[in-house]
Chains A and B, each alone.
Chain A
Amino acid sequence: MSLVLILPIVIPMLSGVSILLAFRSRVAQRFLSLAGTAALTLAAVLLLAEVSQTGIRVDRIGDWPAPYGITLVADLFSALMIVLTAVIGLAVAFYSLVSIDQRRETFGYHALYQFLLMGVCGAFLTGDLFNLYVWFEVMLMASFVLMALGAERRQMEGAIKYVTLNLLSSALFLAALGLLYGAAGTLNMADLARKFASLTDAPSQGLVTTLAMLFLVAFGIKAGLFPMFFWLPASYHTPPAAVTAIFSGLLTKVGVYALIRVFTLIFVHHTELMRTVFLTLAALTMVVGVLGAVAQYDFRRLLAFHIISQIGYALMGLGLGSALALSGAVYFIFHVAIAKTALFLVSGLARQLHGTYDLKQLGGLYRSQPWLALLFLVPAFSLAGLPPLSGFFAKLSLVRAGLEAGEYVSVVVALAVSLLTLFSMIKIWVEAFWKPLPAGSAPASSAVKGWLAPIAALALVTVAIGLGAGPAFGLAARAGAQLLDPTTYIATVLAEAP
């Protein structure tokens, strides 16, 4: 029994419930939202400290032994993702207080936000594939409502695309689960890993490959991989900036997390085939995403295309599959989620100031908001991979892993996409910050002190994991090592004694 493992699920649920019970008082809701995410951050750091010191932690829900009951498992990768969720959750919760309108608040914005965090934390912690599906659903239910809350016309259009494609992905996931259960008779990930290791004859290998591909498609839709990403740029620019920011920071990352988890633990065979598939998809995802971004003139659509492009890097790490590459992928996900969320928060503030997301109508922010300009440059340069920011080290490790593996095409693509990323960041800089405000655009409106604080906090985290890349990458390297050799994971989960 370990309390620290259930806290990341219990805390958001408790804050969500208290917010629901306090539906009459807007002030209480706002306070509870902030207090809940702060407590979650504390719990997440505790979990990371504990996992980093004592190794993989396991909790059996309902006291049922694995593989019969549901187990919660926290290895370093999970713990790092929980910390990521909490940090982004706290920053965006703060940003929501200043940016979300009162109408959305009365319709339960803060409660839904907490339930979204609960779903994300649950997905990162579970050691059971069906339970992962359930957490996906919790997260999606909350995200559906957050996406549609406010019922603006544009928003509805985005929400319908978002809901439809995510339901399709859920249906595929569920179908794959059914087949998997029929084939293996278990859904516990560690147990599956053990069972699949002994399946070596040709017919069952065929079945395993089919299942692997089904999971690739189901998680690939959620992650926004190359041919399945349409829903993302079609919907992410419609809800309020705080919602887009939390979605961009967390939701696609849950898809990538599930891919990495499943393909390092369960489907570890056919490495040559999977490697080719992953590296091809990764390269296409990077290129198509960044080309889409370069063509955009809407602040948030541009950033939304970048989410896709960046997912390609994480997938490249998974495809290369070496210790360095997996560590690089873990570090990369952490870095990109924070930088991306910060950029979306900047876009929301630009909208608040000038009433538009259109880069052509924006301008002059460098003169009117020098601090905002600085806070934009930090995550933007980090995303493009300039030293000494976190993106540089993330990309450096991936590129080095690619060179070591002799995958020169992937390396060239990764570097070229980096340049294009820098180009599109400079485009935002020139359009929104550098050029004078076009005539006819609304002049800067209100004071925005409260909006800057969460952006500054995220920018600081980016700088911190960049300047402190030694220890930060050390942690990611240990997480990568755990992923590469799942024997400890399997043994810990399936251990007879609690």
Chain B
Amino acid sequence: MNSLILQTTTRYLLPLLLLFSIFLFGRGHNEPGGGFVAGLVAAAPFALYSIAFGAREARRVLRIDPRWFIGFGLLVALTAGLLGVLLGRPFFSGVWTYLVVPGLGPIDLGTPMLFDLGVYVGVFGVTLTIIFAMEEAD
């Protein structure tokens, strides 16, 4: 599609939607949001990009093959499950640690969030793999 309006908007929306997806991801631990929906939102601007400029351009902007994200996301999710095992506890046991950030205080970091990150990356990869394939099939 060759629409100046869409092309211009897409350029501005890309960073905004990516920021929004990070916000959704962080919020998801205790409130509505989370890795799945954040992954979808992160995929949205690239889908828009492929509509505005074509799948080839979108792939160039993304730089990495979306299929790689699927594997990486699953690997991260699996790691979240295996960290507990390494500490001698059952599969997918929650493991927690703190990160002290000056000015913000301690931040909880745990395997549930790591798992969610895996979901985020995996959903992002699957969505874009499907959308690019459909865009290229035309």
Given contacts A63-B84, A63-B89, contact A14 B94 (CB under 8 A): no
**Additional pairs, 20, CB under 8 Å, beyond known A23-B67, A62-B93, A63-B84:** A1-B88, A1-B90, A3-B85, A6-B91, A10-B78, A14-B78, A16-B74, A17-B74, A17-B75, A19-B71, A20-B67, A20-B74, A21-B71, A21-B72, A23-B71, A59-B90, A61-B92, A62-B84, A62-B91, A63-B90
Whole-angstrom CA separation of A16 from B71 in the bound complex:
8
**Tier of interface size on chain A:** 10 to 19
Choose among A6, A13, A72 the residue that contacts B74 (Cβ–Cβ < 8 A).
Answer: A13
State which residues 76-128 of B face A: CB under 8 Å.
78, 81-82, 84-85, 88-94
Q: Which residue of chain B has the shortest Cβ distance to A108 in the bound complex? A: B67
- Asked if B48 is an interface residue, CB under 8 A from chain A, the answer is no
Contacts of A20 in B (CB 8 A): 67, 70-71, 74
- Asked if B68 is an interface residue, CB under 8 A from chain A, the answer is yes
Contacts of B136 in A (CB 8 A): none
Q: How far is the CB of B102 from chain A (nearest CB, A)?
A: 33
Given contacts A13-B78, A23-B65, A23-B67, contact A61 B90 (CB under 8 A): yes
Interface residues of A, dominant DSSP: helix
Taking beta carbons and an 8 Å cutoff, which residues of B are in contact with A? 65, 67-68, 70-72, 74-75, 78, 81-82, 84-85, 88-94
Decide: A17 and B71 in contact? CB cutoff 8 A: yes
Q: How far is the CB of B106 from chain A (nearest CB, A)?
A: 23
Given contacts A23-B67, A63-B84, contact A17 B78 (CB under 8 A): yes
Contacts of A3 in B (CB 8 A): 85
Q: Which residue of chain B has the shortest Cβ distance to A107 in the bound complex? A: B133
Q: How far is the CB of B116 from chain A (nearest CB, A)?
A: 14
Contacts of A62 in B (CB 8 A): 84, 90-94
- Asked if A18 is an interface residue, CB under 8 A from chain B, the answer is yes
Choose among B71, B78, B90 the residue that contacts A60 (Cβ–Cβ < 8 A).
Answer: B90
Choose among B82, B88, B89, B94 the residue that contacts A10 (Cβ–Cβ < 8 A).
Answer: B82
Q: How far is the CB of A166 from chain B (nearest CB, A)?
A: 21
Subset of 7 A-B contacts with CB under 8 Å = A1-B88, A18-B71, A21-B68, A23-B71, A61-B92, A62-B84, A62-B93
Contacts of A10 in B (CB 8 A): 78, 81-82, 91
Q: How far is the CB of B65 from chain A (nearest CB, A)?
A: 7
Q: How far is the CB of A4 from chain B (nearest CB, A)?
A: 12
Q: Which residue of chain B has the shortest Cβ distance to A1 in the bound complex? A: B90
Whole-angstrom CA separation of A425 from B4 in the bound complex:
68
Choose among B65, B68, B75, B85 the residue that contacts A6 (Cβ–Cβ < 8 A).
Answer: B85
